[in-house]
């Protein structure tokens, strides 16, 4: 496909875009008869409407992100391309269907296992088939790891499926638990990155903050990286990366400022009590630097007097480990121009394009002259 991007500028790969069905009933053709009838009878509206917490910023969405033809935010591929991709010189957008981060936290495992493939097939038909610049996420329900592995195998050879998608909250304990090994095996077998996204639904931060249910939305926003810190420690100390040395993991929508402190804290504790986890052969920071990538959103915006610390912080994380993420169509949307403007050119171009292109193996696209 030939696309209209500025060939004189390094383009943008956005690793966090959330498309939506126009209506939940748009999923019905992708469900078997039993679950189709169940969804109709239960008047299923998705997991997000069940959240009893007020987001004080336009319901959590950009005010201008709704489809002018009447659909909800990010429900029109054409409008998204016009509003964002063309505006900011995108070469690719990696799509992680909005409202699906909660599936692995849904208490009804059978329903979750049925819904995940429906979302995947809907995404292929309504988005991926419309433009080769769209890359998709194989959504899986981790409650049934064998079914999740089969879903990865079913779609693993689709040329536009770039990753496997899960919420950061695991349904049973931490993600290092062996019950999830079939998912990692399938991801490696199909050469897919496993991407974990912030979970803010019934199984996520709205209900269970680090000190119990939070009082304020700003409290949630300020502490959302804590569950990522807990999960990265759980994964590393479980020894799963020696079992899956080719496993690649991306953490999206938790920022990256916390990563150095987490790495060095794990290193310190590992050196002191490494006999407890003899299967962890090397300092934890080495596993992090080999297996993890981190989305920029919400991008750090220090006070002017602290701007000088941003580049050294990126260096500690690894400038080749950061991926640009906009979080469109949510209100926290980061434009690549605004979010990355303070960085030196080489660092900015790695984050906005080259790192993601290499990690996801995205193709070069022909550009109009």
Q: Which residues, including other chains, have CB under 8 Å from residue 114's CB and lie 6 or more apart?
A: 31, 32, 35
Domain ranges of the chain: 2-358
Query: pLDDT-derived band of residue 368, with 50, 70 and 90 as boundaries?
Result: very low
Q: Is the peptide bond before 38 cis (omega within 30 degrees of 0)?
A: no
Lowest mean pLDDT among 37-51, 216-230, 235-249, 352-366: 37-51
User: What CA–CA distances, in Å, run from 121 to 26, 116, 117, 191, 328?
Assistant: 11, 9, 6, 20, 21
Could you tell me the pLDDT band of residue 2, with boundaries at 50, 70 and 90? very low
Residue 126 parent element (H or E): helix 109-126
Judged by average pLDDT, the poorest of 15-29, 58-72, 225-239 is: 58-72
Pairing of β 2-3 and β 292-295: unpaired
Residue 189: its pLDDT value, please?
A: 98
For the chain, the straight-line distance linking the first and the last C-alpha, in angstroms and rounded, comes to 13
pLDDT of 63 reads: 86
| pLDDT value at 260 more than 70 | yes
In this structure, of 31-35, 70-74, 349-353, the range with the lowest mean pLDDT score is: 70-74
pLDDT of residue 35: 94
Asked if pLDDT for residue 306 goes beyond 50, the answer is yes
* Contact by Cβ (8 Å): 250, 325: no
Lowest mean pLDDT among 17-26, 32-41, 95-104: 95-104
* 364 vs 119 pLDDT, higher one: 119
Select the more confidently predicted residue: 304 or 154: 154
Report which of 233, 358, 330, 349 is spatially closest to residue 287, judged by C-alpha positions: 233
pLDDT surpasses 90 at 57: no
**What whole-number percentage of the chain has pLDDT above 90?**
72
- Residue 342 β-bridge partners: none
Of 136, 154, 147, the closest CA to residue 104 belongs to 147
Query: Would you give the DSSP letter of residue 363?
Result: P
Check pLDDT > 70 for residue 6: no
Q: Which two tokens stand for residue 92?
A: 């690719």
The count of residues in the chain is: 369
Let me know if 245 is exposed, middle or buried by CB neighbors in 10 A (0-12, 13-18, 19+).
exposed
Quote the tokens at residue 311: 């580049």
Taking residues 35-58, report their average pLDDT: 71
Please report which confidence band the pLDDT of residue 46 belongs to, taking 50, 70 and 90 as the band edges: low
Sign of the dihedral defined by the CA atoms of residues 314, 318, 324, 327, in that order: negative
Domain 2-358 fold: TIM Barrel (3.20.20)
> Which structure tokens are listed for 199?
């979970």
Q: How far is the C-alpha of 124 from the C-alpha of 117, rounded, in Å? A: 11
Higher-scoring residue by pLDDT: 23, 17? 17
Q: Which residues pair with 95 in a beta bridge?
A: 17
Q: State the Cα angle at 278 between 273 and 282, rounded to 5°.
A: 85
**In the predicted model, what is the mean pLDDT of the chain?**
90
**Whole-number pLDDT of residue 200:** 62
- Cα 294 to Cα 287: distance, rounded to the nearest angstrom: 14
What confidence tens digit (pLDDT) does each residue in 82-127 have? Answer: 999 999 999 999 999 976 777 877 778 999 999 999 999 999 999 9
What letters, b where the CB count within 10 A reaches 16 and e where it falls short, cover 27-39? bbebbeeebbebb
Regarding predicted confidence, which is higher, 311 or 104?
311
Tens digit of each residue's pLDDT (9 = 90 or more) over 155-189: 999 999 999 999 998 988 899 999 999 999 999 99
Please state the rounded mean pLDDT for residues 8-26.
93
Does the pLDDT at position 364 exceed 50? yes
* Cβ atoms of 293 and 321 closer than 8 Å: yes
User: What average pLDDT does the segment 302-309 reach?
Assistant: 88
Instruction: Let me know the angle formed at the C-alpha of 308 by 288 and 320, rounded to the nearest 5 degrees.
Output: 30
Q: How confident is the model at residue 346 (pLDDT cuts 50, 70, 90)?
A: very high
Q: pLDDT value at position 217?
A: 78
Highest mean predicted confidence (pLDDT) among 213-217, 232-236, 364-368: 232-236
Q: In angstroms, what is the C-alpha Rg of the chain?
A: 20
The per-residue DSSP string of 44-102 comes to ---SGGG-----TTGGGB-TT-B-TTS--BT--HHHHIIIIITTTTEEEEEE--TT-TT
User: Residue 216: is its pLDDT beyond 50?
Assistant: yes
Give the model's pLDDT for residue 44.
78
Give the model's pLDDT for residue 54.
57
Q: Could you give the CA distance from residue 229 to residue 252 in angstroms, rounded to a whole number?
A: 13
Q: Tell me what the mean pLDDT of segment 280-309 comes to.
A: 94
Mean pLDDT of 130-135: 97
């Amino acid at each position: 496909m030939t696309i209209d991007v500025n060939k004189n500028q390094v383009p943008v790969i956005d690793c966090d875009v959330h498309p939506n069905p126009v209506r939940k009933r748009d999923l019905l053709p992708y469900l078997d008869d039993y679950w189709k009838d169940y969804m109709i009878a239960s008047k299923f509206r998705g997991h997000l409407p069940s959240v009893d917490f007020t987001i004080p910023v336009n319901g959590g969405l950009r005010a201008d992100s709704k489809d002018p033809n009447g659909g909800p935010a990010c429900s029109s591929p054409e409008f998204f391309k016009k509003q964002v991709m063309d505006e900011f010189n995108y070469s690719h957008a990696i799509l992680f269907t909005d409202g699906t981060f909660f599936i692995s936290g849904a208490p009804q495992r059978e329903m979750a296992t049925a819904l995940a493939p429906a979302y995947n097939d809907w995404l292929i038909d309504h988005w991926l088939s419309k433009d080769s610049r769209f890359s998709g996420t194989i959504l899986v329900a981790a409650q049934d790891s064998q079914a999740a592995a089969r879903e990865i195998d079913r779609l693993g050879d689709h040329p536009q499926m770039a990753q496997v998608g899960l919420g950061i909250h695991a349904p049973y304990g931490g993600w290092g638990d062996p019950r999830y090994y079939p998912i990692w095996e399938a991801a490696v077998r199909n050469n897919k990155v496993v991407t974990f996204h912030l979970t803010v639904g019934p199984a996520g931060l709205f209900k269970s903050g680090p000190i119990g249910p939070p009082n304020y939305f700003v409290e949630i926003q300020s502490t959302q990286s804590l569950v990522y810190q807990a999960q990265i420690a759980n994964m590393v100390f479980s020894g799963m990366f020696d079992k899956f040395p080719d496993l690649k993991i991306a953490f999206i929508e938790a920022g990256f400022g916390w990563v150095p402190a987490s790495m060095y804290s794990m290193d310190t504790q590992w050196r002191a009590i490494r006999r407890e986890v003899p299967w962890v052969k090397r300092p934890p920071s080495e596993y992090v630097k080999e297996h993890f990538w981190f989305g920029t959103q919400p991008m750090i915006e220090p006070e002017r007097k602290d701007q000088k610390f941003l580049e050294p912080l990126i260096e500690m994380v690894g400038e080749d480990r950061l991926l640009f993420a906009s979080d469109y169509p949510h209100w926290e949307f980061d434009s690549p121009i605004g979010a990355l403007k303070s960085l030196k050119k080489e660092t900015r171009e790695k984050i906005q394009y080259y790192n993601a292109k290499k990690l996801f193996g995205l193709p070069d696209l022909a550009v109009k002259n």
